[in-house]
Amino acid sequence: MKLVTIDQMRRIEAASDAQGHTYAQMMERAGRAVARVIQTRLDVRDKRILVLVGPGNNGGDGLVAARHLHDAGAAIRVSMLKPREDEHVAALLACDVPTVGWAGPDDRLRPWLADCDVIVDALLGTGTARPISGDLAELLIAVKQAVSARRSAVPDLVDPAWPPSWRAEIASSAYGLLAMTTPLIVAVDGPTGLNYDTGAIDPLTLPADLSVTFAYPKIGHTRFPGAEVCGELIVVDIGTDPQLAANVDRELADPALIRSLLPARPRSAHKGTFGKVLIVSGSTLYTGAPILAAEAAYRAGAGLVTLATPRAIHSIMASKINEATFLPLPDRDGVISEEAATIILAKLADYTVTLIGPGLTVGARGFMELLLDRASGPLVLDADALNILAQIDHWWTRVPPQAILTPHPGEMARLTQLSLKEIEADRARVAIGWAQQWGHVVVLKGAFTVIAAPDGRSILLPFANPALATAGSGDVLAGTIAAMRAQGLAAFEAALCGAYLHGAAGEMARREIGAAGVLAGDLLTRLPPALAALA
């Protein structure tokens, strides 16, 4: 799925219109899609839906959505920022849909805001270019005040053992709870006030629960603070020819892409078919990291996993996991010692991929230096392996080609000598540039993780999930990527599929457990169903 700028999207639409798939047809498909998305979230029959309509094409999309929602049985009300006369307004007037213009918060709009079930923001689309002011500012202030008041409302009857919930499926009249204490806010293309190129937002932006964008996601949807106010992002087809976006170089991963890349699982397979993973990790300070990485590798489909850990923690490892084999290594004070390098080098050829780093500690620098001099074969380098590399001049020339590096922003800052601010300013650009310079695949972790290859390819993941911001999540990610590499995928594809699978498991955990309280171990049991859903 391409990730486009405002200008690229305008050119795609203009080219589509020139081909005969007109702006009117695209608007009809866009509005119908918005209505369809709302219908997937709730039964719209007799629901009160307020559509806020702007003067441009975004407002036209909202009017088309209003017509389709009316036909589906919803009670539609339309508030227009400026008077407009077109076939979409005429169609609604013919259906006796009540409309009101905007001349300040009058007596007619206030009750609409007070009792609507859904608010559709179709005020401004990708054309936002300057600070919001005038009538639009007044309208947004009125809407935000009404929404805030409703979201802070308290039911008349409260059961102290069952706190009020915003979720209709949890709320129950038996407990005296309101069925829904807030309107669902749906943004057409994105919330009014979002800059679709930079992700900047106007202070008056109305945060959405759900944004429905057309043809392709825009870069601003994946950059903060804009991404924070978009809510759940849905991308819908409006009939443009995919070839019109062929020259767009940024991409957002989607299930169809991952499905096309996943390794096969033939019925005639044995464990060797799915590869052997060697995990060099752990110390007395970090005994959980090797287990999380090993279990993740198994859960993501690897055939055999060997844990190469300090002898000092071998008994702990053996008590925690039944499926792994072990290669105890010499250690000094619980940290892998230099003598272990010879042992690992002798074993590398027996394994399909080697993961080095989780829980290693920077005290293993001597081991890493000796290992790099003679290492070969596919490598995944994570955590303290990266922190050690950051201490070695021109380290990338000593790492076997096409290694996979999995830094979080702090580790990336140490590897590149850039500031965190410089990295976060354009994560994709940073990941691509350094992947090209180093000659290795970079997985720059964080909200909307970037996968970048030495040849300039890059793909953004669609996940921005606070549930994944927990200790050990990176160990699970590293093990998942190693499993994909072990099963025969090339470095870039293995990194992409492993990171996507990890993100999908995180989404499952967030929905089932919540945004807080997810443990890294909770991701492990969700890797197989996430994989099955993609297969």
**What's domain 269-534's architecture?**
3-Layer(aba) Sandwich (3.40)
Q: What pLDDT, in 10s, does the model give residues 306-328? A: 999 999 999 999 999 999 999 99
Predicted confidence band of residue 99 (pLDDT cuts 50, 70, 90): confident
pTM: 0.91
Question: 37-54: b or e for each residue (b if 16 or more CB lie within 10 Å)?
Answer: bbbeeeebeebbbbbbbb
Q: What pLDDT, in 10s, does the model give residues 480-530? A: 999 999 999 999 999 999 999 999 999 999 999 999 999 999 999 999 999
Angle between helix 6-19 and helix 23-41 axes, rounded to 10 deg: 120
Q: What pLDDT, in 10s, does the model give residues 243-253? A: 999 999 999 99
Q: What pLDDT, in 10s, does the model give residues 439-450? A: 999 999 999 999
CATH 3.40.1190.20 in the chain is located at 269-534
- Cα–chain center distance at 534: 16
> What pLDDT sits at residue 111?
86
Q: What are the C-alpha distances in Å from 499 to residues 256, 263, 385, 421?
A: 15, 14, 19, 24
Contact yes or no for 455/449 (Cβ under 8 A): no
| Least confident segment among 109-118, 166-175, 291-300, 367-376 | 166-175
Q: Answer yes or no: CATH 3.40.50.2000 is held by domain 6-245.
A: no
Q: Collapsing DSSP states into helix, strand and coil, what is residue 429?
A: helix
What is the average pLDDT across 98-127?
A: 83
> What pLDDT sits at residue 156?
61
Predicted confidence band of residue 171 (pLDDT cuts 50, 70, 90): very low
- Phi and psi of 474, rounded to 5°? -65, -30
Contact yes or no for 276/28 (Cβ under 8 A): no
Check whether 164 has a pLDDT greater than 60. no
Predicted confidence band of residue 177 (pLDDT cuts 50, 70, 90): very low
| Least confident segment among 25-34, 94-103, 153-162, 444-453 | 153-162
In 3D, which of 16, 26, 426, 408 has the Cα closest to residue 220? Answer: 426
Tokens of 289: 């990291």
Check whether 192 has a pLDDT greater than 90. yes
Predicted confidence band of residue 154 (pLDDT cuts 50, 70, 90): low
Tokens of 496: 């992409």
What is the average pLDDT across 327-348?
A: 97
> DSSP state, 333?
T
Check whether 351 has a pLDDT greater than 50. yes
Predicted confidence band of residue 162 (pLDDT cuts 50, 70, 90): low
Predicted confidence band of residue 64 (pLDDT cuts 50, 70, 90): very high
| Least confident segment among 65-74, 155-164, 200-209, 232-241 | 155-164
What is the sign, positive or negative, of the torsion defined by CA atoms of 221, 224, 225, 230?
A: positive
Predicted confidence band of residue 105 (pLDDT cuts 50, 70, 90): low
Contact yes or no for 443/481 (Cβ under 8 A): yes
Contacts of 176 (CB under 8 A, 6+ apart): 155, 156, 157, 158, 159
In 3D, which of 461, 460, 407 has the Cα closest to residue 434? Answer: 407
Mean pLDDT of the chain: 92
Contacts of 283 (CB under 8 A, 6+ apart): 310, 313, 331, 334, 335, 336, 359, 360, 361, 363, 364
Q: What pLDDT, in 10s, does the model give residues 386-422? A: 999 999 999 999 999 999 999 999 999 999 999 999 9
How many whole angstroms separate alpha carbon 44 and alpha carbon 38? Answer: 8
By DSSP bridging, strand 118-122 and strand 75-80 are unpaired
> What pLDDT sits at residue 169?
42
Check whether 85 has a pLDDT greater than 70. yes
* Nearest-10 Cα torsion for 195, 434, 407, 512: 40
Check whether 168 has a pLDDT greater than 90. no
Higher pLDDT, 273 or 110: 273
Predicted confidence band of residue 348 (pLDDT cuts 50, 70, 90): very high
Predicted confidence band of residue 167 (pLDDT cuts 50, 70, 90): very low
Check whether 363 has a pLDDT greater than 70. yes
Check whether 172 has a pLDDT greater than 70. no
How many whole angstroms separate alpha carbon 78 and alpha carbon 14? Answer: 29
CATH 3.40.50.10260 in the chain is located at 6-245
**HEC sequence for 358-402:** CCCCHHHHHHHHHHHHHCCCCEEECCHHHHHHCCCCCHHHCCCCC
In 3D, which of 251, 352, 244, 232 has the Cα closest to residue 302? Answer: 352
By DSSP bridging, strand 99-101 and strand 325-326 are unpaired
C-alpha gyration radius of the chain: 27
Taken as a whole, the chain contains a residue count of: 535
Predicted confidence band of residue 179 (pLDDT cuts 50, 70, 90): very low
